[in-house]
Structures are given as C-alpha cells and as structure tokens.
Amino acid sequence: MSDAGRFLLDESRLPKAWYNMNADLPVPPSPVLHPGTMEPVTPDFLSVLFPMSIVMQEVTPERWVEIPEPVREIYRLWRPTPMCRALRLEKALSTPAHIYYKNESVSPVGSHKPNTAVAQAYYNKEAGTKALTTETGAGQWGSALAMACSFFGLDLEIFMVNISYQQKPYRRYIMENFGAQVFASPTDRTQFGRKLLAESPDSPGSLGIAISEAVEVAATSGGTKKYSLGSVLGHVLMHQTVIGLEALLQMEMAGEYPDIVIGCAGGGSNFAGFAFPFIHRNLTEGKKTRIVAVEPASCPTLTKGRYTWDYGDTAAMAPIVKMHTLGHTFVPPGIHAGGLRYHGMAPLVSALVAHGDVEARSALQLETFDAAVQFSKAEGIIPAPESAHAIRAAIDEAVLCRETGRKKVIAFNLSGHGHFDMTAYESYHHGKLQDFEYPDHAVEEAMTHLPKVPGG
C-alpha cells in the first residue's frame, strides 16, 4: 500500500532469498589469498574465523540463497522497511526530479546493519559458536551485532575505533546494554594493539587496526571464538540485498523505475545491499540505471585509491583481496562519518567500479552536512553522517534536473539515522567542522607497503 508518498510492503512480501552478485558479475571474481603464502585460501583456513555455512556463502555461484526462517522471523521486527518519496525535498529544491529513499533507519538500532548481523549470529549459533569478536567504526555495526548476539545467546567482544569510542559514547552504551564488551582500539588486550600503543599512545585508531585486533582474538582463541565482519566480504553484501529487493517491489508500487540509484560507500555493505538488485536488472534485463557510490573526500578509496591486492587489516593478518585501497597502513582523519573510514572497498563493489558498472564520486564533509540539514528540514529525519553522502549526491542530481529541465527518478538508501551523531551536528552548526581532502602523496606512500602478490 502507499500513503502520502510512503510505499509499504506487508510481511508476506518480505524476500525469501538473498541475491548473490557472484552469479552475474561481469568479470571473473578474484580469489581471496592467504596473507602468508599468498596462495588462494582454503575453506579450512577461513573456518578458523567463520562457520563453514558462511564460508560456503562466500563462494557459492547460486544466484539466490534462501533466508532461513529464524532470520526472517527477526527481520519482521522492522522489515519490510518503508520506501518514501521525498515530496517536501523536491518542493524545496524546485526540481522536476522525483526523489525516493529507502528508510533503513527504522531498524531497532537505527541502521541497515542488522540485516547481516542477525544472519551471521544465526549461522554461528547453528554451528555451535559460543562467542564472537568484531570491530566497529561509528558503532552502528557493533550495535547491530550486539543486538543479534543477545537474540541468539552469544557472547561478544567489540573493538571500537578509538576516535569513535570517544565521539560516540551512546553507541557504546547501546552495545553494552545488549551485553557486549566494548574496548577502545587499539587496546592492550592484543599483541598488535600493545605494539601500536607503544609506538603511538594517543592513536585515534582505524577500522583496519580494530579488524586486526578482533581477528587476532578469534584466531588465537583455540576455536572458542569466531570473527564477524560488518562489511566488505561477499556474504555480508549478499545479506544486505534484502534492501534492494524490497525497493524493486516498492518502485513497482510507485509506478516508476529509477534512472539513478545512489548509496554511500565505506566498506560497501549498504551500497551493495541497495544497488546490487538494480545492477542485476542492468546486467540481465538491459536496464540503464546509473549506479552511484559516494564516499568522503577524506577517505577516497574508490576515487583516489588503487585497484590492487591488499590486506584487509592493518596488521596483515587478514586475507589479501583485490580491491580499491588507500593502503592497509592508512589511518583516517577524525571525520564524523565513522562508518566510511575503512582503507579498502568490498571486492565485488571494486570490481564493478573497475568494469564501469558503478560510478564513484566523493563529497567533502561540510557539503555533506549541508545536505543532511537540508534533508532533515524538509523530510523531518536527521540522517547519519554516512547516509548524508548519498543525500548530497541525490540533491546534486536533483538540482541538475532543475537546471536542465529534465525529470529523472532518483533513489537513494538512507542507511541510518543520526540520533547518536548530534555532537557532529553541534560542531557543524557552530562552525567547528573542517573539510579535508586526503592528499595524493599519502596514497602513493601507502602503496609502497602493499603485499607483493606474484603475478599481481
């Protein structure tokens, strides 16, 4: 049904299967390499970190993977999520464009992250896992996994990027409310963390560092703990496609189809979850929708990074993958879009950008917050700083429609709300935020530390 620009699916139309991009990828997928031997990893190697069911999802060629009923049951707490037409924003912009957004902020923890957190917790519980480790940047992933682990009775240790640990205490309190232990990374709980603290006691941390700590704890646990990842890998992106699959149905209800699909991009999970089902239509049905990934200019993985082989973490413990990367030694500036500060990009997203199926652009911090405030004043939703990158691009496209007099249908993913990001908004409104463009020379220096992959 629809109501004043809101397109709502009932529970009977909740997708029964996730979409697997591997089935339609227009280029051969690159293997995942062992960080020591640089040979393709075996399922046994990955099973140290993940249950075998998730390992198999990472490599399956099947286009559709069934969503287990226990996962769908929890999804029904908030799914299907609304698809909304931004009528008031359109009016404020005086644009002929029609702007739609998929509202993932209605989940219990306020973002898209539970779509994979619930699935990963379920598969770990089924495999007999007792405890998980993970990292989190802005805290949205940590909050989602903490909730999912509480549903399935799993213990959880979270390594939260230090700068976000300080900037976003309420995210930490949410995680702790669900029973998780949260540590500011780098910590003195791991060998790698102690090494970094000895070198830089005031390190702001990074997602790459936090991943290293979480991986180290899981890998040295003797099998008592597994690792859970909130973005980047194929199974994570696949779990998120429930977003785009619902959106396809909702665009049918609206009687329109997007000319442009937009998502913010950090590690790739919300972008892929929204965009992959539309890319599927482009690749298999001849649709011509433009697909746009938007990242911070301060962490320009897709727009300045190199498409090459790199470690997934800072300590070079995680597998090596082919992706757009700023180098695993990258330590990001302390911008407020904490969920978009990873040094790399999901290999599947990277491959599609390299092949020309996805456009990449970057946005500066101030113009991103300009868009966030404009959207909130029109639509009444305060977006997460991450999501505001997609809003920035959507507004830019709508303004271009006004200038050219051409109507286009624009759809973007509102990946989360900003209720726990108000210190960022306070800084914006009081002129304390600054723009920062990551310099080319820093990228070039980081490239000297890449792994030397034979034939790479």
pLDDT digits (tens, 9 = 90+) for 325-343: 999 988 777 666 566 778 8
> Above 80 in pLDDT, residue 251?
yes
pLDDT tens-place string over residues 271-291: 999 999 999 999 999 999 999
Confidence of residue 224 (pLDDT cuts 50, 70, 90): very high
**Residue 315 one-letter amino acid:** A
Please list the residues that pair with 85 across neighbouring strands: 100
Q: How far is CA 13 from the centre of its chain?
A: 24
Q: Give one word for 286, left, alpha or beta, with left for phi > 0 and alpha for psi -120 to 50.
A: left
Identify the three-state secondary structure at position 241: coil
- List the structure tokens of 115: 């779509």
Q: Do the strands 2-3 and 306-311 form a parallel or antiparallel pair, or are they unpaired? A: unpaired
Tokens standing for residue 455: 């034939």
Domain 2-12+71-110+235-447, CATH among 3.40.50.1100, 3.60.40.10, 3.10.20.30, 3.30.1490.190: 3.40.50.1100
Average pLDDT of the residues of the chain: 94
Phi, psi angles (nearest 5°) of residue 205: 80, 175
d(CA 124, CA 225): 10
Which residue type occupies 39? E
pLDDT score at 267: 93
Cα distance between the two ends of the chain: 51
pLDDT of residue 338: 61
Average pLDDT over residues 306-321: 90
The pLDDT of residue 242 is 98
- State the alpha helices, DSSP H only, in 161-268: 162-167, 169-177, 191-199, 207-219, 234-240, 242-254
Tell me which residue of 281, 263, 244, 230 sits closest to 353, measured CA to CA. Answer: 263
Mean pLDDT of the 167-188 span: 94
Residue 316: the pLDDT is 83
Q: Output the CA torsion 103→106→110→114 (10° steps).
A: -90
Over range 390-402, report the average pLDDT. Answer: 98
Residue 259 has what DSSP assignment? S
Lowest mean pLDDT among 266-280, 323-337, 346-360, 435-449: 323-337
Q: DSSP per residue over 421-442, as a string? A: -HHHHHHHHTT--------HHH
Domains 2-12+71-110+235-447 and 19-67+113-232 share a fold: yes
Predicted confidence (pLDDT) at residue 206 exceeds the cutoff of 90: no
Reply yes or no on whether the pLDDT at 431 is more than 70. yes
Lowest mean pLDDT among 60-74, 298-312, 334-348: 334-348
For residues 29 and 346, is the Cβ–Cβ distance under 8 A? no
Q: Rounded CA gap, 397 and 391, in Å?
A: 10
Amino acid at 324: H
How far out from the chain centre does Cα 437 lie? 21
Q: What pLDDT, on the 0 to 100 scale, is given for residue 371?
A: 98
CATH T-level fold of 19-67+113-232: Rossmann fold (3.40.50)
Q: Are strands 6-7 and 2-3 parallel, antiparallel or unpaired?
A: antiparallel
Q: What is the mean pLDDT of residues 57-77?
A: 97
Burial class (CB in 10 A: 0-12, 13-18, 19+), 451: middle
Secondary structure (DSSP) of 74-118: HHTTTPSPPEEE-HHHHHHHT-S-EEEEEEGGGSTTSBSTHHHHH
Tens digits of residue pLDDT in 136-167:
988 899 999 999 999 999 999 999 999 889 88
Rounded to two decimals, what is the model's pTM? 0.95
Bridge partners, 33 (sequence order): 40, 320
Find the helix or strand (DSSP H, E) in which 368 lies: helix 365-379
With bands split at pLDDT 50, 70 and 90, how would you rate the model's confidence at 174? Answer: very high
Where in the chain are the domains?
A: 2-12+71-110+235-447, 19-67+113-232
Higher pLDDT, 456 or 120: 120
Q: Residue 336 has what pLDDT? A: 61
Would you say 290 and 257 are in contact if contact means Cβ atoms under 8 Å apart?
no
User: Which own/partner pairs from 38-42 qualify as long-range (CB within 8 Å, at least 24 positions apart)?
Assistant: 38/320, 38/451, 38/453, 38/454, 41/319
DSSP state of 166: H
Q: Which of 165, 436, 112 is nearest to 274 (CA)?
A: 112
> Cα separation of 320 and 308, whole Å?
10
The number of CA neighbours under 13 Å toward the Cβ of 314 is 24
